[in-house]
């Protein structure tokens, strides 16, 4: 996974409004928790990957869908050979199932992070009259992902000089010590960044009471409406399939 948290959709064939993306995230989460059928999730995930590709990240989408394909294939083929030790079957089932059911949610978060710019996000939700107080934390969260990555890189280097090992053995033997060594500098460093960031933001006129304008045009386009309908429909469909599977009607 590419750990540069920078969202843009300049190369995309379509541009999707941040509100639609959040809606997709919500339906994804609902699908994950409510649908128990492989087919429902597979269908949903494929559409999600296609959307990701259309928004300018075809390689990411391809890799994700390949991984998904392999997992689905393994799940489907698990029945072809009997007599394997219980443990192996259980572990394999656990891995594949959690991958399957986490896929839509993680993918839609990644989708938001990778294709949305913070300013676009802010303005889209302001246009919907969502109070700034509710949006800013999300925006700050986005802003903080790359910061944390950055800090982590620095801390890792600092640890190398201090002879603090990050090997699996060390982590297992001294879990608390390791966490402490990571957390203390991370917290203090992040805290000072946070404070300065807040000061800078306020000094530049960000105010929860004042209404902001937006450089970017925010409007739900035909694509957005189409996607909203599509994902809502898929959610319903997935739920129906799951229900039917539960009743044992099909599959």
Cβ atoms 116, 139 nearer than 8 A:
no
Instruction: Choose one: 11-19, 25-33, 191-199, 222-230; the region binding other proteins (CB under 8 A).
Output: 191-199
Cβ atoms 123, 198 nearer than 8 A:
no
Cβ atoms 135, 122 nearer than 8 A:
yes
- Say whether residue 204 binds other proteins (CB under 8 A): yes
Give the nearest distance from C-beta 12 to other proteins in angstroms: 14
Structure-token pair, residue 197: 């960031």
- Say whether residue 130 binds other proteins (CB under 8 A): no
Can you tell me the distance from the alpha carbon of 168 to that of 32, in angstroms, rounded to the nearest whole number? 31
Crossing angle for the helix pair 18-34 and 38-54, to the nearest 10 degrees: 160
The footprint of other proteins on residues 109-128 (CB under 8 A) is 117-120, 123
Rounded to a whole number of angstroms, the distance between the first and last alpha carbons of the chain is 34
Can you tell me the distance from the alpha carbon of 173 to that of 5, in angstroms, rounded to the nearest whole number? 32
Cβ closer to other proteins: 35 or 65?
A: 65
Give the nearest distance from C-beta 151 to other proteins in angstroms: 6
Secondary structure (3-state) at 5: coil
> Per-residue x/- marks for other proteins, 45-84, CB under 8 A?
-------------------------x--xx--xx-xxxxx
- Residue 211 DSSP label: P
- Say whether residue 215 binds other proteins (CB under 8 A): yes
The footprint of other proteins on residues 169-188 (CB under 8 A) is 180-181, 184-185, 188
DSSP assignments along 111-137, one per residue: HHHHH--HHHHHHHHHHTT--HHHHHH
Instruction: Choose one: 13-21, 31-39, 208-216, 227-235; the region binding other proteins (CB under 8 A).
Output: 208-216
- Say whether residue 12 binds other proteins (CB under 8 A): no
Can you tell me the distance from the alpha carbon of 25 to that of 111, in angstroms, rounded to the nearest whole number? 9
Instruction: Choose one: 12-20, 30-38, 201-209, 229-237; the region binding other proteins (CB under 8 A).
Output: 201-209
> Per-residue x/- marks for other proteins, 140-169, CB under 8 A?
--xx--xx--xx--xxxxxxxxxxx-----
| Radius of gyration over every alpha carbon of the chain, rounded to an integer in angstroms | 22
Question: Contact positions toward other proteins, by CB under 8 A?
Answer: 4-8, 10, 70, 73-74, 77-78, 80-84, 88, 92, 117-120, 123, 139, 142-143, 146-147, 150-151, 154-164, 180-181, 184-185, 188-189, 192-194, 196-207, 209-215, 217
């Amino acid at each position: 996974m590419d750990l540069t948290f920078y969202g843009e959709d300049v190369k995309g064939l379509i541009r999707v409004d941040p509100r639609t993306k959040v809606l997709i995230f919500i339906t994804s989460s609902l699908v994950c928790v409510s649908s128990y059928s492989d087919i429902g999730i597979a269908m949903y995930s494929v559409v999600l990957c296609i959307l990701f590709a259309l928004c300018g990240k075809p390689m990411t989408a391809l890799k994700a869908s390949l991984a998904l394909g392999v997992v689905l294939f393994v799940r489907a083929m698990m029945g072809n050979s009997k007599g394997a030790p219980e443990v192996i079957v259980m572990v394999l089932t656990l891995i594949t199932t959690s991958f399957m059911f986490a896929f839509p949610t993680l993918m839609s978060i990644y989708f938001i992070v990778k294709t949305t710019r913070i300013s676009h996000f802010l303005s889209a939700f302001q246009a919907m009259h969502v109070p700034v107080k509710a949006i800013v934390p999300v925006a700050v969260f986005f802003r903080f992902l790359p910061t944390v990555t950055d800090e982590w890189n620095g801390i890792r280097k600092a640890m190398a000089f201090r002879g603090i090992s990050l090997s699996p053995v060390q982590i297992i033997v001294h879990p608390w010590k390791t966490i402490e060594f990571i957390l203390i500098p991370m917290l203090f460093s992040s805290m000072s960044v946070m404070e300065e960031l807040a000061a800078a933001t306020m000094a530049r006129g960000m105010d929860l009471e004042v209404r902001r304008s937006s450089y970017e045009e925010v409007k739900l386009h035909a694509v957005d409406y189409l996607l909203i309908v599509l994902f809502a429909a898929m959610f319903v469909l997935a739920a129906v399939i799951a229900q039917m599977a539960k009743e044992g009607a099909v599959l």
